[in-house]
């Protein structure tokens, strides 16, 4: 649980840092930690569709990683699969473009 607390302190940054680096959920996803991501969502510590400084949500990063477990956690936590980044790219479109088909299949099945 101390990992979750450490991630939550990431959110206590200036707005500039927060916009660029994202939330504790972004960090958990970037580390590939589905347990931490689920804990953050279960505790309602973060908003699942919060964007980072590039307009990407945690779902964008989980799809880029082709992490089926993280995609499942985020969608179960209410992630909007239609959110787009600043380039107008949805998480599914990004995953397809990068050949991460497993993550796309999971997101479409849920």
Rounded Cα distance between 107 and 91, Å, is: 10
Where is pLDDT greater, at 37 or 7? Answer: 37
**Domains of the chain, with CATH numbers?**
2-109 (1.25.40.20)
Half-sphere exposure at residue 16, Cβ-oriented, CA atoms within 13 angstroms: 0
Within the chain, residue ranges assigned H as helices are 2-10, 15-21, 24-30, 34-42, 58-64, 68-76, 91-97, 101-109
19 alpha carbon, distance to own chain's centre: 14
Roughly what angle, to the nearest 10 degrees, separates helices 34-42 and 68-76?
0
What are the pLDDT digits (tens) for 16-73?
454 567 999 999 999 999 999 999 999 998 999 999 999 999 999 999 999 999 999 9
Q: Does position 13 have pLDDT exceeding 50, yes or no?
A: no
Question: Whose CA is closest to 24, among 8, 44, 43, 38?
Answer: 8
Tell me the pTM: 0.81
């Amino acid at each position: 649980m101390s990992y979750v607390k450490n991630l939550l302190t990431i959110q206590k940054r200036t707005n500039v840092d927060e916009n660029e680096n994202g939330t504790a959920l972004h960090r958990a996803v970037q580390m590939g930690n589905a347990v931490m991501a689920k804990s953050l969502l279960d505790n309602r510590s973060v908003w699942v569709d919060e964007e980072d400084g590039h307009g990407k949500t945690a779902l964008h990063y989980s799809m880029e990683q082709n992490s089926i477990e993280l995609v499942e956690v985020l969608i179960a936590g209410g992630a909007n699969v239609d959110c787009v980044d600043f380039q107008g790219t949805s998480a599914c479109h990004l995953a397809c473009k990068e050949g991460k088909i497993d993550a796309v299949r999971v997101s479409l099945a849920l």
